Amino acid sequence: MLRSHFRGCLVFLFILSVLLSGCFPASRTENDGEIQEETTENNETDVSSIMKTAVKEQENRMYSPDVDSTYLYWLDNRLVLLKGSTKCNIFALNVLHRSGHRTPSTNALCRDLVDTSRFKDILPVVGVKDISGVQAGDLIIWKNHVIIFEKSLSSIKSGLYVSAWWAGTRQKDNGENVKNNVIYGKYRLNGYYVVRRPVKR
């Protein structure tokens, strides 16, 4: 009698632990497509937040070369004076920070970001001079420049182009795709570059 009561308690505790742990039979999640869709939606949300933040940041005059007061959001809004400078690294890292992604604990310049031995945990390298696995929201970084990738464009004789966001353009502000020296446009990929993937905080 005591043994059967003990078994009954064990069965009850087992069922209770399954219910409290959130575990359910495999039939509930057997469709791999549903799991994949959920992952894809999360990735799209991250990308969407990066792109929406880029649109908002484009309105900020501090990215213009004629404005010297520039704030590094990812370093507790640290003020740096950069009159006459383009600010592509600052734009990219400010966008990542404001969209909820991890950023370096230093004022990382392009030459720092292109160094594949650095920032591996917060901005993993996913390609070196290769965009085969590039995703929207990834950073493409050269020694002196960085862009936020959105999508690949058709390759033509003159090279491979992508749609992207970046600060520091030679084009004049036009109030449409170029504002405050920040542009959403077509960029040619050439030379040595590194692709890094933002990681959510």
Q: Domains in the chain, start-ordered, CATH in brackets?
A: 38-196 (3.90.1720)
Dihedral of the CA atoms 62, 193, 156, 178 (nearest 10)? 0
Q: Which one has a higher pLDDT value, 183 or 6?
A: 183
User: pLDDT confidence of 161, banded at 50, 70, 90?
Assistant: very high
pTM of the model: 0.76
- What percent of the chain stands above pLDDT 70? 77
Q: Which one has a higher pLDDT value, 132 or 201?
A: 201
pLDDT exceeds cutoff 90 at 162: yes
Reduced to 3 states (helix: H, G, I; strand: E, B; else coil), residue 15 is helix
How far is 172 from 6, CA to CA, in rounded Å? 80
Task: State in Å, rounded, how far the first CA of the chain is from the last one.
Answer: 55
Measure Cα distances from 131 to 48, 188, 191 in Å: 20, 12, 13
Strand ranges across the sheet with 182-189: 125-128, 194-196, 139-141, 146-152, 160-167, 182-189, 178-179
Residue 29 is classified by DSSP as G
Mean pLDDT (whole number) for 57-78: 95
Residue type, 23: C
- Look up residue 110 and give its two tokens: 């392009």
Cβ contacts of residue 179 below 8 Å, gap of 6+? 58, 59, 173
